Every structure is written in C-alpha cells, then in structure tokens.
Amino acid sequence: MVNSKKIKSLFDNSKLDLNLSLSSEYPVWFQDFKQKSLDRFKEHNIPSVTDNEWKYTKIDSLLELLFNREVLNRIDPKELPDKNIVSDKDAICIHFHNGQYFASSDLPNHIKIFSKTHDKDIFKNLFKSDINPQRSFLSDMNSIIFSDTLLIKTLQNQKVDTEIHIINHSHYDSIIAPRVHIHVAENSSLKIFEHVKSSTQSVISHLMTIFCEADSNLEFYKLIEQQKDTHFLSTQTAQMAENSKVNCFSWDFGAKTSTTNTLAELDGKKSEFHYSALFTPSHDHHSGNQLRVEHNANKTKSRIKIRGVLNDQSKGVFFGKIKVNEDVLGTSAFMENKNLLISDDATISTQPILEIYNDDTECSHSATSGSIDEEKLFYIQSRGIPEIAAKQYLIGSFIKELINEITSIKIKTLLQNNFQYIDNQS
Amino acid sequence: MSIEDKIILKIRDLSVSTDGNQILNGLNLTVKKGETHAIMGPNGSGKSTLAKTVAGHPDYLITSGKIKFLNKDLSSMSVNERSNLGLFLGFQYPIEIPGLSNTAFLKAAINAQRKFYDLEDISAHDFLLQLKSTADQLGLDQSFLSRGVNEGFSGGEKKRNEIMQMLMLNPKLSILDETDSGLDIDSMKVVARGVNSSRSEDSSTIIITHYERLLNYLVPDYVHVFFDGKIIKTGNLELANELEKKGYEWLIQKK
Ligand SMILES: Nc1ncnc2c1ncn2[C@@H]1O[C@H](COP(=O)(O)OP(=O)(O)O)[C@@H](O)[C@H]1O
Ligand SMILES: [Mg+2]
C-alpha cells in the first residue's frame, strides 16, 4: 500500500475530543469498548484511493471534516425536529436525530434502544469488539463515534408483520454514527425500512449487523437521501443460519463520498441472500458499492442485482465478490451489475468477481454499462414528450425491474413517489 | 381560405445527408389538407430518411432546402414540438421499451400534447375509455396495454400499436412508414380501417408502402415514385397498379 501513514498521525494534530469519559449511567464494559475501538482505529492506515473501497472518494475532505474540529456534535435544542413527526399508525417509527434516540411510537418488546434501556447489559454481547466480522476502518470508526444503538431482536416463532421504520436525521456539520443490530430468532420474521436523511457537511458512519437464526426471514429496505457535501460511510454484515432468508433493497442517491460495504456469510445450509441496490449519483457525487458474499454451506443461494444511473460528472464503483468454498456443494449464485450513464462525463468502475472452489456450483455474473439509447429517446419524443421527461422515462424503465421486486406495497409507493417517472402500472 | 392555409406540408428542394452520405437530393412535395399521398419506391431510395427527417431525427442533417409544416419552418423545432403541433410518424421499425407500459406511455403522450395547448391533464376516466375503445377497434387485447411499449410484440402487433398511438393523438399529418409490411390480410384490413377512420377534411396522410394492396383500401389522391432521394414520377392509383405489375425498372430506365 502506497499510503501507509496511520490514523494516529492525524490524531496528534487534532483538537478533537471524542469525550470517551461517558457519564456514570454507562457501564464500565461500554467505556472499555469505546477505548479499545479508539486504540484500534488509530492503528488503521489512512485510507488510500488505490484501495477499491475508497476509489473515487474524497478522502482529504472527509478527514478534514473528521479531525479538524473540537467536538463531534453540538446539539442545539432549537434545531430539534418536532416530536410529532411520529405519525404513521401502521408502522413502528423510530427517529434518531444526530445519532441519538429522539422519538418513537410505543416500542414493543423486541425493540431496544441503548440510551433508553435501564438494563444496558443486554447490549453487552453486541459490543464485544469482534462481533462485526469486518473489523475494518469503517466499523471501528462507527464504534468510536456512535452514541446510541438500536437493537431489534425477535423471539422464536415471532412473525412481526408491522413494519419498523428507522429514520435517521442529521443536521448541519454533524458527525453521526447510526448503529443497528438486527437479530432474527429461529423461525421468526421482520420487515424493516431505514431512511437516512443527511444534512450539509455531515459525516455519517453507519453500521448494521444482521444475524439470522435458522428458518428466519428478514426484509430490509434502505433509502439514503443525502446532501451534496455529505460523507456517508456504511458497513453492513449478515450472518445467516440454516434456511434463513434475507431480502435487501437499498437506494443511494450519492454524496461527496458514499460508500456501502456489505458482507454476507451464508453459514447455514439452504440460506438465501437477495440483495438489490440502486445508486443514482449526480453532480460530482460519488457512490461506491463493495459487496462480498461467502457461500460457506451446502445449497445456499445468492442473488445480487446492482444498478447504477450516473448523471453529470458523478462517479460510481461496484466491486462484488462471490466466494464459494471448497467443501461446499449445490451453490447457486447470481451477480449482475448494470449501469446507465446519462452524461458523457460520468464514470463507472465495475468489477464482479467469482471465486469458486467447488464445481458443484451454478453461477453467473455480468456487468454492463451503456448510455441512453438514442432510438428509444427519439421514439418517445416523437410522441410529443419533451426530451427531459423522455430521459426520465428511460431511467424509470431501467430501474423498474428492481422496484418491482419490492414486496412491501407501502415502501414501493414511497419509492415511486420519490421518482415520478417510474410508471406504477406493472 | 388562402392557398397557404390549405397546405399542411411543403417541402422545397430538400437535401439530407447522414453519416456524410447524401440521401435526399432536392426533393419537392406539397401535401394539402384532406389529401392522402402514397410514396412507393425501391429499398434504399430514401423513403424512411424523408419520414425521419420530417419528424426531426437527430441523425439526419438538412444540407439544403426547407420543410414547412402548417406554414411553420420545422428546422429549429424539437421532435416533441413537431408532434405536439400535429405530426405523427408511424415507424417502419417500432421501438421496444421494456419497463415503460403502453398505457403510461400513451397517457404521457396525450398529456404532453394537452399541455402544449394549455389544457389540463386528461382525466383517468376519459383516458381509459378512449384507450379501450381504440384498442377494441384495432383488435388489440387489453393485455397489450399493460405490457411494456412494443415489448415482445409480433410485427403485426407493433404496427397496430402504431396505429393505436396515431388514433389516440389525432394528428394533422400522419406519415406511415411501411405500416403494412409484414401484415397478413386481416391485420392489413384492420390497419386500413384505422387509417380511414382517422381521415378528415383537416388531416392528411402520407403512406409509404411497397404494396398496392393497402392503397386499394385507402385510395390515395396521389402516388409518388421515389428514387435516389427524390420523386421521379407522380400519378394516381393506376400508377400503383402499374408498378405492382412492372416493378420500378421501366421508370428508372426511362429517366
Ligand atoms: N442512420 C443512417 N446511417 C447511415 N446510413 C443510413 C442511415 N439511414 C439510412 N441510411 C442509408 O440511406 C439510404 C436510404 O435509406 P432509407 O431511407 O431507409 O431507404 P428506404 O426507406 O427507402 O428503404 C440507404 O442507403 C441507407 O443505408
Ligand atoms: Mg424504409
């Protein structure tokens, strides 16, 4: 690695006080965890753009925002949103503002929030430093910054039909680290929607872990709406036991830096991981998607569909790797990345990789990139529709396949409203 | 009414090139309100080039001459404005757009036209009523309406779909580029009936075709023979009959 300077070197000159001496409400083990995370974080190398994960990102600007300040967040009570925002009666809504729990519907037993809970020890296992198998720059960064945590943990056989909506707001110049742990117990199911709304100049370091026990089922949707000078850094992992199934959809609109790092470990036989992601950066934004799927048990299945729509001078990255281990039989793996470049100045770098060590595998992968089809554009325009709208229809038709696969009507409607040219006839 | 008001399309001395090749060479054509013109001619003579140039396809460059539609110069007009003003091109090869439903597409097209004339969006009710009756008229099953535009349609279905769009948009000038090619007799009759139903004193049609068959149903006022980027002969239905029997050779040689 070319740039091997350590984070430590930045801390020396930094005025930043991470305020690790937390109030006495917090148990000793938690303070320990924070301290250990900080020690480890300092030992990481400063990220390098030659690294896939950081390709095209604006690291200097990120580091400056991170270290060139005295405190992480100034909370100004005047800026707090209205508590009455919890309005959706068909869903359980949980709002976090600047990384801290702010308001929610009445919370059922399977949802716990770290700052609210008296019995904080139920979180203890989650903060063992090695819980996240990606012990990376990203996860350690989240660990030192985060101030609240959401734990969603079902009971055995508990089918939760009510959708859980997590809304993360941030405001100007904040550094926040949302942290969500999802534990889907044996033969139980959950539906979760997370909406991240960032504000100018903020850094969001997001961490999510998913743990699925046998025969469990999780549907997860994520909408990341960002301001142009936000840095959004996300790491998410899914560990899956026998017969469990995860269906994930995310839509990222890009930011100064937007990077999502996903690791799925299919550890139990017949487990299934479906992951669809849309990224639609514009201006000079960036959107990076790193994904690793490990097939560690027999008859596991992965379905990865990633689509990018890139406008203006934006830059997109897809780096996906599917790994099938040597002693694993009957794997089915599919990975597809399609990109639509709607501007001559947009750039995409795509790299789907298969690492297959067992022949008993059915797999395919593909990556394509193209621009708007001029003949289609002419055809639509020739029926009286202006060029801008015609392009939007073509973009809509490009992303529609992924939107159509969303089973939650509510979330589908919400996304369709976000983008008026997705025609809602199926 | 002055003579100018009766003219829908006036093409003067039109030369067009694409990819550096000259395709149209000094073409003249005048179409008046209520008239039906047929254009026949060998493959590659530039018929589709004419149609696409009038519609504003960006690949075709006008090197000289003028096209006036409803007494307005078309050269600076966008593709969609031409349509909004009442020009319709029935494509020789209709384009497939998976992921955009026929219904949504048609509705957007109609509303774009209405917006151009400062009208409010069509009501969902009126739209569906009109759509259903037009589809019925053309023997297009309801299931086609919710499918992607032309997606997986057979050749004949695509052509009927073009006529459906034409009937819904109610244009002043329709240029139908080989809409009858590849159609069986029944489909052709359906298309011919569709075209006939749209004819009026105020609207005109240009039919590009290889076959006299369709023309026997439509009875054009003029039949033009197109060769090497211009019209080399003009006559009536009898000329079409003659071409059907003798081909184009005799005309080209005579020239
Ligand atoms: N987009 C294009 N690029 C290059 N050549 C073209 C293009 N369109 C048409 N041509 C050429 O122009 C000539 C006329 O084509 P066309 O107008 O399609 O003829 P017709 O419709 O009479 O069969 C042909 O030689 C064709 O190859
Ligand atoms: Mg042609």
Given ligand 1 and candidates B49, B92, B178, B226, which is best to mutate, with the most ligand atoms within 8 Å of its CB? B49
Residue ranges of domains in chain B, CATH in brackets: 3-254 (3.40.50.300)
Q: Which two tokens stand for residue B188?
A: 């052709």
Q: Do A379 and B94 touch (CB under 8 A)?
A: yes
What would you measure as the largest C-alpha separation in chain A, in angstroms? 70
Instruction: Kindly list the residues from chain B whose CB atom is less than 8 angstroms away from the CB atom of residue A394.
Output: 97, 100
Contact assessment for residue A257 and residue A233, using Cβ atoms and an 8 Å cutoff: yes
Give me the amino acid identity at A346: A
Indicate which of A372, A373, A381 best probes the interface with B, i.e. most B CBs within 10 Å of its own CB.
A381
Closest residue in B to A398 (Cα) is B99
User: Dihedrals φ, ψ of B218, to 5°?
Assistant: -95, -20
Distance from chain centroid for Cα A101: 19
B27 compared with A71, residue with greater pLDDT: B27
**Closest ligand 1 atom, CA of B51?**
17
Rounded to an integer, what distance in angstroms lies between the CA atom of residue A166 and that of residue A178? 10
The per-residue pLDDT for B127 is 97
Residue B33 in 3-state DSSP?
A: coil
B95 → closest Cβ in A376, A386, A396: A376
Do B67 and B73 touch, CB atoms closer than 8 A? yes
- Residues contacting B187, CB < 8 A, separation 6+: B156, B159, B160
Q: What is the pLDDT of residue A83?
A: 62
Would the CB of B229 count as within 6 Å of ligand 1? no
Q: Which residue has the higher pLDDT, B54 or B1?
A: B54
**Strands B97-101, A175-176: pairing kind:** unpaired
Cut 0.80: pTM above it: yes
Question: Measured between CB atoms, does A24 come within 8 Å of chain B?
Answer: no
- Asked whether B67 and B53 are in contact (CB, 8 A), the reply is yes
Indicate yes or no: CB of B108 within 8 angstroms of CB of A381. Answer: no
Q: In chain A, which residues have their Cβ closer than 8 Å to the Cβ of B104?
A: 423-425
Of A387, A394, A400, the CB nearest to B80: A387
DSSP A327-383: T--SEEEEEEEEEEE-STT-EEEEEEEEEE--SSEEEEEEEEEEE--HHHHHHHHTT
Contact yes or no for A381 and B165 at CB 8 A: no
Q: With left for phi above 0 and alpha for psi between -120 and 50, is residue A214 left, alpha or beta?
A: beta
What gap in Å lies between CA A338 and CA A390, rounded to an integer? 20
How far away is chain B from the Cα of A364, in angstroms, using its nearest Cα? Answer: 23
Q: Do A397 and B100 touch (CB under 8 A)?
A: yes
Q: Are A325 and A295 a contacting pair, CB within 8 Å?
A: yes
Closest CA to B49 of B60, B39, B41, B38: B60
Query: What pLDDT score does A128 carry?
Result: 73
Asked if B78 lies within 8 A of A381 by C-beta distance, the reply is yes
What are the structure tokens assigned to A117, written together?
């809970």
pLDDT of residue A62: 87
Cα A148 to Cα A116: distance, rounded to the nearest angstrom = 9
State the pLDDT at residue B187.
86
Residues on chain B touching A383 (C-beta within 8 angstroms): 80, 83, 105-106, 108-109, 112, 165, 169
Contact of B176 with B203, CB cutoff 8 Å: no
Task: Flag residues of chain A having pLDDT under 70.
Answer: 1-3, 19-24, 74-87, 129-135, 418-426
Q: Is B148 helix (H, G, I), strand (E, B) or coil?
A: strand
A420 touches chain B (CB under 8 A): no
Distance in Å, alpha carbon of B178 to nearest chain A alpha carbon: 16
Q: How far apart are CA A189 and CA A244, in angstroms?
A: 10
pLDDT of res. B145: 92
CB count in 10 Å sphere of residue A24: 8
Distance of alpha carbon A24 from alpha carbon B81, whole angstroms = 70
A374's CB contacts (< 8 A; 6+ apart) are B58, B59
Q: Could you tell me if A357 lies within 8 Å of chain B, comparing CB atoms?
A: no
Ligand 1: centre distance to CA B46 (Å) = 6
Partners of residue A305 in chain B, C-beta under 8 Å: none
CA-based nearest residue in chain A for residue B89:
A382
pLDDT of residue B1: 60
Using a CB-CB cut-off of 8 Å, the residues of chain B touching A401 are 99
Q: Give the residue, by CA position, lying nearest to ligand 1 atom 6.
A: B18
Domain locations in chain A?
A: 7-371, 376-426
Q: Give the position, in ligand 1's atom list, of the atom nearest the Cα of B42.
A: 22
Counting ligand 1 atoms within 8 A of each CB, the residue from B23, B92, B179, B248 with the most, and so the one to mutate, is B23
Rounded to whole angstroms, the maximal C-alpha distance in chain B is: 58
Check residue A78 and give its pLDDT. Answer: 64
According to the model, what pLDDT value does residue A426 have? 42
* Residue B93, ligand 1, Cβ within 6 A: no
Query: Whole-angstrom Cα distance, residue B244 to residue B17?
Result: 30
> Could you read off the pLDDT of B199-228 as tens digits, one per residue?
888 999 999 998 888 898 889 999 999 999
Distances (CA, A) of A406 to A68, A95, B41, B43: 42, 23, 51, 48
Q: How confident is the model at residue B56 (pLDDT cuts 50, 70, 90)?
A: very high
Which phi and psi (to 5°) does residue B134 adopt?
-70, -45
Contacts of B143 in chain A (CB under 8 A): none
- Whole-angstrom Cα distance, residue A290 to residue A303? 15
- SS3 of residue A201 by DSSP: coil
* Contact between A379 and B80 using a beta-carbon 8 Å cutoff: no
What does R_g of chain B's alpha carbons equal in angstroms?
Answer: 18
- Rounded CA separation B158/B168 (Å): 15
Q: How far apart are CA A286 and CA A259, in angstroms?
A: 8
A382 vs B84: CB contact, 8 Å cut-off? no
Residues in chain A within 8 Å Cβ distance of B56? 381-382
Q: How far apart are CA B224 and CA B248, in angstroms?
A: 12
Give the position of tokens 């020739």. Answer: A382
Q: Take residue B65 and report the two structure tokens written for it.
A: 């001459």
Rounded CA-CA distance A407/A77 in Å is: 39
In angstroms, what separates the C-alpha of A50 from chain B's closest C-alpha?
37
Residue B245: pLDDT above 50?
yes
Ligand 1 proximity of B49 Cβ (cutoff 6 Å) = yes
Q: What is the CA radius of gyration of chain A?
A: 21
Q: Are A241 and A269 a contacting pair, CB within 8 Å?
A: no
Q: Which amino acid is at B252?
A: I
Residue of A nearest to B106 (CA): A383
- Nearest ligand, CA B49: 1
Taken in order B131, B136, B137, B138, the sign of the CA dihedral is positive
Helix ranges (DSSP H) in chain B: 3-6, 47-55, 79-85, 102-116, 124-137, 143-146, 155-169, 185-198, 212-218, 237-246, 249-254
Cα separation of B36 and B203, whole Å? 9
How far is residue A392 from each of residues A214, A312, A397, B106, measured CA to CA in Å? 42, 14, 9, 15
Alpha-carbon distances, residue A23 vs A28, A147, A151, A166, B34 (angstroms): 10, 12, 21, 26, 87
Residue of A nearest to B108 (CA): A385
Q: Are A423 and B100 in contact (CB < 8 Å)?
A: yes
Residue type present at position B212: E
Phi, psi of A146 (to 5 degrees): -60, 150
Q: Which amino acid is at B52?
A: K
pLDDT (tens digit, 9 = 90+) per residue, B146-199? 999 999 999 989 999 999 999 999 999 999 999 988 888 888 888 898 889 888
